[in-house]
Amino acid sequence: MMCEAMCMRMRIRRGEFERIRSVLEDADQDEPLTAREILRVLEENDEEFDSAHQVATVLGRRAQTGDVEVIRDQPYRYRFADQNN
């Protein structure tokens, strides 16, 4: 039972990450953005997220796997790994 709940949360998070990435790619956003800026782009493209904190949490978790770079500035900015070229 515990594994089912964890697996479901992981799928949801993966879906959230893919939605963020897809919208930013479609919007041709290739520069590092803050979570608030990303949230604004998502909302402009009819993608619902609760807050900039939720966006930052999703991207921060993916930074642990190397899919996202967190630029630890004030405020933090996020860049997808394939944009680091």
* pLDDT given for residue 54 in this prediction: 96
Give this prediction's pTM.
0.81
Give mean pLDDT in consecutive 10-residue pieces for the chain, a chain of 85 residues. 52 78 90 97 95 96 95 95 63
* pLDDT given for residue 58 in this prediction: 96
Give the CATH number of the domain where residue 41 resides. 1.10.10.10
* pLDDT given for residue 29 in this prediction: 82
* pLDDT given for residue 24 in this prediction: 94
Cis link prior to 32 (omega < 30° from 0)?
no
* pLDDT given for residue 64 in this prediction: 94
Please tell me the total count of domains within the chain: 1
Domain extent, residue 42, equals 2-83
